[in-house]
Structure 1
């Protein structure tokens, strides 16, 4: 019996590609370039499915051009806003993602951003690298504690809850807004806010963990940032388009915000160049899931979904519009 044929759009960890080679007839991407839409369509010919990443924009137009042989798109990610799931369903194409396995790694990065932004790590690192640190001073490079601060979490799913767990160990008071309130056993004393606006007003530190949807895009904008207490900190490890760059940068430059910590950006990697000039911006290049252990687990989870699909079983992580 012939093995299913896959197009793998990016270079994946070695352990994942070894399993791919064992179980599938897979066309991989050794040079790791982002394939253009026409290339994706051309390479899809004769394939049974895709293993894609968030860098691949699978919109309705592209999906409509795919050959009828394509039956599944397994995404190497928990988010799937890069895929038009409704258009895929209309073509009878299953879509899966990789939840659960990147929760802890992303929560760790969120806490790193919270601490780095609060403690002025970006400015401190720049002073060392540029040889501007001449002596220790009692009032030099003062920052702020996180202990006792109100941490507002937008989106209390798996990652949001993992961040809350870590924040409590640092003495932060957890507040959150979610589509539905958690039960008392899951809240662990966190304060629920029925609206995002209420949460903004109660957050000394705001950490973003909601999905990118039409309702949440640019949720962090000039109006909502103005609700934050003066000197607040904003951290984002979710999706870049949840934040209005212009509003965030303006609030930082005006002094309404103390600092920001970002791991994701609109139009990444082509970020707003002004971010690079801000010493109170602690910036990372989308490292949320970037550990060997987590990226292997993501790849294996994507392959588990493909295994189930081609064996005639319902994939564990099938997503629907």
Structure 2
């Protein structure tokens, strides 16, 4: 008898076809709306596999309702949406999709850095609102990127991809990580520094670290106060790494120059969120990995993980 799989969002037809060859599929059919909690609680009770997204909260109380769940295949690199300990206690395999989104997310991070530095969104609105009447020497002037100092917090796959892009702009590269990356230091012109020094010296502070209990609110009022007044903070990692109240105060007061954010503590972010009111903030709806090619690769990798686990084989990427 085929195992039963629940998919928490409408996925491309080619993914459905792959899974359908081996499994009975139940699926939340909407693309633009997360599966309601009561629906997920009902469906998880009698399925063998769960194909889910970062937006789905797979917590202890939900897992308690699962009677025969063998695998949770998360279509994301991060997995802070899943109670890993609860899954481990129930013997449920948890998988993720690292690697395939590295270059795409690094592209987006550098694009966000440049858009924020050169005020591209603000300038586009300025034009479309009919405010552009003449050329002026200091009109919509931003910060230079070429030759500036970038500080990268977190030197995993995406951090390492970002430094290659920074090198192309002849940037001075500082980094902070739990451990030094001597192999990268050997091959690239980069310097390991403590976090405080990185914050003090960087023109651009890019957060690339995973979201863990240790990195929750890693950047708060104290850390923001160390940054230069012309510095820009870029976050494409996880919203909870930055204290958003402290960031709003620092941006509003001019303590730092600007911020580019692809992530928020609560997503989707509320339209009345204070950060959305500031002209010196560029905000995006968590699109770090949003290229057609990469999202399909992520979906296929999540499918590989799912099918291998259901076939009692070791998935390609096991969290627990």
TM-score, L = length of structure 1? 0.95
Per-residue displacement from partner, 1:114-135 (whole Å, max 9, x unpaired)?
1011101122022022111111
Deviations 1:181-217 (A, max 9, x none): 0023455121112x32232122110001111111101
- Aligned residue for 1:77? 76
Aligned equivalents of 2:125 and 2:21: distance in 1? 47
Cα distance in 2, alignment partners of residues 186 and 22 from structure 1: 47
Residue 154 of structure 1 corresponds to: 153
Q: CA deviation digits over 1:93-127, x for unaligned, max 9?
A: 11000000011111111001110111011220220
Three-state SS of the structure 1 residue aligned to 2:21 is helix
Cα-to-partner distance string for 1:16-42 (whole Å, 9 max, x where unaligned): 223223332111222233223332121
Is it true that 1:264 corresponds to 2:250 in the alignment?
Answer: no
Deviation at 1:177?
0.6
SS at 1:198's partner residue? helix
**C-alpha contact 1:116 1:122 (8 A) present in aligned 2:** yes
Q: Is the 8 A contact 1:122 1:279 kept in 2?
A: no
**C-alpha offsets along residues 121-172 of structure 1, whole Å, 9 cap, x if unaligned?**
1220220221111112122111111112111111100000111111111121
Structure-to-structure mapping, 1:57-76, within 5 angstroms: 57-67=57-67, 69-76=68-75
- In structure 1, what is the Cα distance between the partners aligned to 2:184 and 2:246? 37
Q: Offset at 1:13?
A: 2.5
- Specify the SS of the correspondent of 2:174: strand
Question: Corresponding residue for 2:233?
Answer: 234
Q: Bigger CA drift: 111-120 or 29-38?
A: 29-38
**Structure 2 SS opposite 1:213:** coil
Pair 170,14 (structure 1): closer, same or farther in 2 beyond 3 Å:
farther
| Counterpart secondary structure, 1:80 | coil
Please report how far the alpha carbon of residue 229 of structure 1 lies from its aligned counterpart in structure 2 after TM superposition: 1.5
Unaligned runs of 5+ in 2: none
* Deviation for aligned residue 1:312: 2.0
8 Å contact 1:122–1:280 — kept in the other structure? no
Residue of structure 2 equivalent to 1:284: 284
Partner residue in 2 for 1:298: 298
Q: Equivalents in 2 of 1:159, 1:231: separation in Å?
A: 25
Does residue 15 of structure 1 match 2:14? yes
Q: Is the 8 Å Cα contact of residues 13 and 295 (structure 1) preserved in structure 2?
A: no
1:246-298 residue CA offsets vs partner (Å, 9 max, x unmatched): 11111111112111111111111134622222111111111111111111000
Contact 2:210 2:237 in 1 (8 A): yes
Cα distance in 1, alignment partners of residues 183 and 94 from structure 2: 33
Q: For residue 205 of structure 1, what is the aligned residue in structure 2?
A: 204
Which residue of structure 2 aligns with residue 192 of structure 1?
192
Tell me the equivalent position of 1:253: 252
Q: Secondary structure at the match of 1:20?
A: helix
Does 2:49 align with 1:49?
yes
Q: Is the 8 A contact 1:96 1:317 kept in 2?
A: yes
Between 272-281 and 40-49, the greater mean CA deviation after superposition: 272-281
**DSSP 3-state at the match of 2:264:** coil
User: What's the offset of the Cα at 1:90?
Assistant: 0.3
RMSD: 1.4
How many residue pairs end up in the alignment? 317
The answer on whether the counterparts of 2:217 and 2:240 sit within 8 Å (CA) in structure 1 is yes
Identify the residue that residue 319 of structure 1 maps to in structure 2.
Answer: 319
* Contact persistence 2:154–2:209 (CA under 8 A): yes
Counterpart-to-counterpart distance in 2, 1:88 and 1:240: 24
The worse-fitting range, judged by mean Cα deviation, of 34-43 and 85-94 is: 34-43
Q: TM-score if structure 2 supplies the norm length?
A: 0.95
